Amino acid sequence: MVVSVKQLEKQYGANRALGGVSLDVEPATLFGLLGQNGAGKTTLIKILLGLVAPSAGTASLLGRPVGTFSARREVGYLPEDHRLPEYHTSTSLLDLYGALQGIPRRDRRRRAAELLDMLGLAGREKLRIRGYSKGMKQRLGLAQALLHGPRVLFLDEPTDGVDPVGRKEIRDLLLEERRRGVTVFINSHLLGEVEQLCDRVAILRKGKLMVTGTVSDLTRQKGSWIVGFDRDMPASFGFPGATFEPTETPGRIRVGFEATDAVAAGSAAEADSKEKEAIDRFLEAAGAFGLRVRHLERERATLEDLYLAIAEGGGMP
C-alpha cells in the first residue's frame, strides 16, 4: 500500500478533527478526498505529510512511518491557499525548494526548466511571483510539488483559479503521473472534476470516513429514466412496477423502476440489461397508448448526489 492509515485520530483542543479514520490506498491511484470545509481532509493530508502529529492511530507512507525524512523525500505537496514567497521568480523558487529537497544544482535547474515548460510558464523566468496571476501561481505550485519526482502527490485544489484549458492540461499531467506509477491525492470541491479524473474517492464528514470506493461503484445506476412525450401523460396511463414523478422541466417525467442489484442479477451487465428491458417495455406500452417519445435519458447517481446526500444526511443515498 502507498498509504495505510489505521484508526487515525486528531484532537485540536476541544475540536475533534479526525475521529478514527482507516484507509488504504494502492499505488498508481488517483485518489479523491471529498468533504465539506472542516471535515478533516486537510488534517488527514497533513498527518500523512508528517506536518501534524496524530493524537492516536498509525499512518504509514510507502511502508515507512509518516514524517520520517525518507518518507518525506517521496512526497510532493500543493497546499490549499498556498502562498509562494513573492520575492522569488519561478526559477529561483524551484531552485530553493529543489535544494531543500536535496537535489544537486545542475539537476534541479534542468528539472525546473522542464517543468516550467510543461506547465506553460516558460519565458517568464524573470518575472517575480508578485506579478503572477492566480492560475500562474497554481501552475508554479504544481511544479514545486513535482520537482523531485515524488511517488506520492498530495494536491489541495490543484486546478483552483486555472482556466478551462489549463485545467485540461493539469488533468492530463496528473493522468500521466499516474501512468508513471505515481499515486495522487486530490482534495477538491469540484466534484465533476474529481468524478472525471479519480479512480477512487473517499468522503469525509466531521472527521469520519463515510464512504470509500471506486467512482464507478459509487455512481452506479439509480434505476430511473427521464422521459419526455409529445404531450402530457394522461393520468389514466399506468405501468406496473414503475413510479412517476414530475421533474423541473415541464413535459418531462422521471420514471423509476426498482434498481436491480448487480449481485442479485448475477452481474453488472445483467442488471443493466434487465433495466433496459424494463424501459423498453414501458415505452412500448406508452406507444400503444398513443404517446410519442421526444426525450429519453438514463439517470445515473453523480458524485454530487452522493456527496450532497452524505453532507446533508450523513448516510448513503
Partner 1 sequence: MSGMQRSAEQGSGADDSARQRAGIVERIVVRPTLPRTFLAMLRDTWREFLDAKVLYLLLLAIAILFGIALTGRIEPQPGGRQYLDIAARAMAADLDGIDIATQSVEDVAGRLNGSLYAITSAEPVDDDLPGGRWRVTMTRNFVPLVGQPESDEEISGRFGRIADGEMWKVAEIRETGSAWARKIGAQTWEMTVAPGRDLRLLWPHRFTLFADGVDLAGTKGAPLGLEVLILQKLLATGLGGTILLLVSVVVTAAFVPNMVRKGTLELLLVRPIPRWQLLVFKYVGALLLVAALLGILVGVVWLITGVIADVWSPGVLLALPSLLVFFALLLSVSVLTGVVTRSVISAMLVTVAYWAILFIAGQMNNVAVESRIREANVGKVRPTSIAERIRGRQPQRVEPLKPGRKPFYRTTLGMITEGVYAGLPHTEDLDNLVDRQLMRDFAVAGPFRALMESAEFSWERGLGLTLLHTVAYLAIACTIFSRRDP
Strands 200-205 and 208-214: antiparallel
| Least distance in angstroms from the C-beta of 25 to partner 1 | 10
Please give the sequence-ordered ranges of beta strands (E in DSSP) within 67-107, or none if there are none.
75-78
Q: Of these, 39, 103, 210, 233, which contacts partner 1 (CB under 8 A)?
A: 103
CA distances from 108 to 21, 82, 105, 143, 154 (A): 37, 22, 5, 12, 21
Q: Of these, 13, 15, 164, 179, which contacts partner 1 (CB under 8 A)?
A: 179
CA gap 199, 174 in Å, rounded: 12
List beta partners, residue 128: 89
Among candidate residues 177, 213, 175, 205, the one with its CA nearest the CA of residue 19: 205
The crossing angle, in degrees rounded to 10, of helices 134-146 and 90-101 is 30
Cell match 472527521: residue?
207
Among candidate residues 223, 297, 226, the one with its CA nearest the CA of residue 262: 223
139 scored as a contact of partner 1 (CB under 8 A): no
| Least distance in angstroms from the C-beta of 49 to partner 1 | 5
Cell match 445483467: residue?
270
26 scored as a contact of partner 1 (CB under 8 A): yes
What H or E segment, with its residue span, contains residue 177? helix 164-179
CA gap 75, 49 in Å, rounded: 7
| Least distance in angstroms from the C-beta of 205 to partner 1 | 22
Binding mask of the shown chain, residues 31 to 60, with x at each position contacting partner 1 by CB under 8 A: ---------------x--xxxxx-------
Q: Of these, 56, 65, 99, 295, which contacts partner 1 (CB under 8 A)?
A: 99
172 scored as a contact of partner 1 (CB under 8 A): no
Binding mask of the shown chain, residues 106 to 135, with x at each position contacting partner 1 by CB under 8 A: -x---x----------------x-------
| Residue type present at position 269 | A
100 scored as a contact of partner 1 (CB under 8 A): yes
Pick 19 or 223: Cβ nearer partner 1: 19
Q: Of these, 5, 44, 182, 279, which contacts partner 1 (CB under 8 A)?
A: 182
Residues 6+ apart with CB under 8 A from 286: 227, 229, 233, 237, 239, 293
- The dihedral through the CA atoms of 115, 119, 122, 127 has a sign that is negative
290 scored as a contact of partner 1 (CB under 8 A): no
| CA–centroid distance for 241 within its chain | 36
Which of these ranges, 100-108, 221-229, 293-301, 306-314, lies near partner 1 under the rule CB under 8 A? 100-108
Residue 257 zone, left/alpha/beta (φ > 0; ψ -120 to 50; rest)? beta
Which of these ranges, 102-110, 159-167, 283-291, 304-312, lies near partner 1 under the rule CB under 8 A? 102-110
Binding mask of the shown chain, residues 69 to 98, with x at each position contacting partner 1 by CB under 8 A: xx-xxxx-x-xxxxxxxxxx---x--xxx-
Q: Which of residues 191-250 bind partner 1 (CB under 8 A)?
A: none
| Least distance in angstroms from the C-beta of 142 to partner 1 | 12
Pick 79 or 207: Cβ nearer partner 1: 79
Residues in touch with partner 1 (CB under 8 A): 1-2, 4, 12, 26-28, 46, 49-53, 62-63, 69-70, 72-75, 77, 79-88, 92, 95-97, 99-104, 107, 111, 128, 144, 148-151, 179-182
